[in-house]
């Protein structure tokens, strides 16, 4: 791409008169920069490495010394807006399917995407992550985002993934976390999934034309319990009547809490949060350090503990570490 064309696309201002006039590809990671690349400086501290690695152009939002006059230095009002304009320009050259969807569908699609023949690119919240593989986009690829406003800016010809209503039959809720049901003559026995998220599962199943490796549902961590024994150590699925749930997505908290209250109304549920959360109307315990959660659980009577603001895998890992520490002596 010519530097002059790049400046027109992003609405930037050339700060010098470089000897080069073109760039090959976009990078936001200075360690990945190769000769001829455009480097988009998310952090000013990364610029020197990008220049050393051969960047032909540097995009900055804030002033920075021009340490190499041979390459192009371009200033923009907003790096985020610049990323959007560059991605939109690149995507406009392809014939793509584009969708926006709810958070659960997005994560289910990610869980199953590698086991299907469809080529899907997911647009993350941090656009610099998408830049990393934008050069891999091809015609007829599928792009999916959670944010409708964002995908409207990147690829206006998009559709809502969550529009169709699917009819499920023979639903049996074995527990809060395990269901059996039928859909279009296909029977799903004892699926490790909450009935709360059956609609999104069926939407994803239909989108992939049934081409799913159901074992990949293990990587889907929403409303996925960690069962605890009497010593509050992790035990096998369903082997205890005491469990914890972890959620760090604020968009899902209210629905999951209401679901627990409806389906688990006769048991005692406690709520633990990493920081004060205005969405939690029930009494809750604030635990700022992940390593203090187990101590809090020991000091409280509960059947279910709904933990907000922590990552599921880190909670699982932490409890595993604590389990080993507790059994050292």
* 42, 59 Cβ separation under 8 angstroms: no
Q: Which domain holds residue 199?
A: 169-216
The domain boundary, picked from 77, 101, 135, lies at 77
Considering the domain architecture, whether residues 211 and 231 belong to the same structural domain is answered as: no
* 31, 42 Cβ separation under 8 angstroms: no
Does position 329 have pLDDT exceeding 50, yes or no? no
Instruction: Output Rg (C-alpha) for the chain, integer angstroms.
Output: 24
Closest-CA residue to 257 (of 272, 242, 237) = 272
Calculate the dihedral angle through the C-alpha atoms of 177, 178, 183, 186, rounding to the nearest 10 degrees. Answer: 140
Q: Average pLDDT in the 146-167 region?
A: 95
Considering the domain architecture, whether residues 151 and 192 belong to the same structural domain is answered as: no
Considering the domain architecture, whether residues 306 and 247 belong to the same structural domain is answered as: yes
If you average pLDDT over every residue of the chain, what do you get? 93
Domain-located, residue 113: yes
Q: How confident is the model at residue 114 (pLDDT cuts 50, 70, 90)?
A: confident
Considering the domain architecture, whether residues 52 and 112 belong to the same structural domain is answered as: no
Coil, helix or strand at residue 112: helix
Token pair for residue 269?
Answer: 């549920």
The larger pLDDT score, comparing residue 278 to residue 86, is at 86
Domain-located, residue 64: yes
- The pLDDT of residue 135 is 83
The domain boundary, picked from 77, 101, 126, lies at 77
Considering the domain architecture, whether residues 317 and 235 belong to the same structural domain is answered as: yes
Q: What is the CATH number of the domain that holds 271?
A: 3.40.50
How far apart CA 97 and CA 129 sit, in angstroms, is 20
Domain-located, residue 123: yes
Domain total in the chain: 4
- The pLDDT of residue 328 is 42
Model confidence, pTM:
0.89
Q: How confident is the model at residue 151 (pLDDT cuts 50, 70, 90)?
A: very high
- The pLDDT of residue 278 is 79
* 273, 284 Cβ separation under 8 angstroms: yes
Considering the domain architecture, whether residues 246 and 313 belong to the same structural domain is answered as: yes
- The pLDDT of residue 325 is 52
* 252, 260 Cβ separation under 8 angstroms: no
Considering the domain architecture, whether residues 173 and 154 belong to the same structural domain is answered as: no
Domain-located, residue 84: no
CA distances to 5, 79, 158, 190, 313 from 71, in Å: 16, 19, 37, 61, 44
Domain-located, residue 46: yes
Q: What is the CATH number of the domain that holds 25?
A: 3.40.1390.10
Residue with structure tokens 């859909």?
Answer: 183
Q: What percentage of the chain has pLDDT greater than the value 70?
A: 97
Q: What is the pLDDT of residues 29-56, one digit of tens each?
A: 999 999 999 999 999 999 999 999 999 9
Domain-located, residue 83: no
Length of the chain: 329
Bridge partners (DSSP) listed for residue 285 = 272
Most confidently predicted of 113-117, 177-181, 215-219: 177-181
Considering the domain architecture, whether residues 174 and 154 belong to the same structural domain is answered as: no
Domain-located, residue 82: no
- The pLDDT of residue 322 is 54
Considering the domain architecture, whether residues 305 and 234 belong to the same structural domain is answered as: yes
Considering the domain architecture, whether residues 138 and 176 belong to the same structural domain is answered as: no
How far apart CA 56 and CA 232 sit, in angstroms, is 56
Considering the domain architecture, whether residues 212 and 236 belong to the same structural domain is answered as: no
Residue 53 gets which letter from DSSP? T
- The pLDDT of residue 90 is 93
Considering the domain architecture, whether residues 36 and 116 belong to the same structural domain is answered as: no
The domain boundary, picked from 43, 77, 111, lies at 77
Q: How confident is the model at residue 279 (pLDDT cuts 50, 70, 90)?
A: confident
């Amino acid at each position: 791409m010519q530097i002059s064309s790049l400046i027109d696309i992003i609405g930037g201002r050339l700060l010098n008169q470089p000897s080069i006039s073109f760039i090959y590809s976009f990078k936001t990671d200075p360690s990945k920069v190769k000769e001829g690349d455009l480097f988009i400086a998310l952090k000013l501290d990364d610029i020197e490495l990008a220049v050393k690695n051969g960047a032909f152009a540097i995009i900055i939002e804030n002033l920075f010394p021009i340490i190499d006059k041979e390459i192009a230095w371009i200033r923009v009002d907003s790096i985020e807006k610049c990323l959007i304009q560059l991605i939109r320009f690149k995507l406009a050259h392809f014939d793509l399917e584009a969708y926006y969807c709810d958070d659960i569908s997005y994560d289910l699609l990610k869980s199953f995407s590698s086991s299907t023949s469809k080529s899907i690119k997911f647009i993350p919240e941090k656009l610099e992550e998408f830049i990393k593989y934008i050069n891999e986009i091809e015609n007829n690829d599928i792009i999916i985002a959670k944010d409708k406003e964002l995908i409207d800016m990147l690829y206006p010809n998009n559709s809502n993934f969550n529009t169709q209503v699917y009819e499920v039959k023979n639903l049996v809720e074995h527990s809060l976390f395990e269901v059996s049901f039928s859909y279009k003559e296909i029977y799903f026995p004892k699926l490790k999934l909450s009935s709360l998220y059956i609609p999104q599962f069926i939407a994803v199943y239909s989108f992939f034309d049934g081409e799913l490796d159901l074992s990949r549902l293990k990587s889907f961590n929403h409303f996925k319990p960690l069962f605890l024994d009497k010593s509050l150590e992790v035990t096998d699925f369903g082997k205890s009547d005491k469990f914890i749930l972890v959620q760090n997505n604020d968009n899902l908290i209210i629905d999951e809490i209401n679901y627990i209250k409806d389906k688990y109304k006769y048991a005692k549920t406690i709520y633990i949060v990493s920081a004060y959360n205005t969405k939690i109307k029930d009494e809750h315990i604030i635990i700022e350090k992940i390593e203090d959660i187990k101590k809090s659980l020991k000091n409280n009577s509960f059947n279910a503990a709904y933990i907000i603001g922590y990552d599921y895998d880190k909670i699982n890992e932490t409890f595993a570490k604590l389990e080993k520490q507790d059994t050292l002596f």
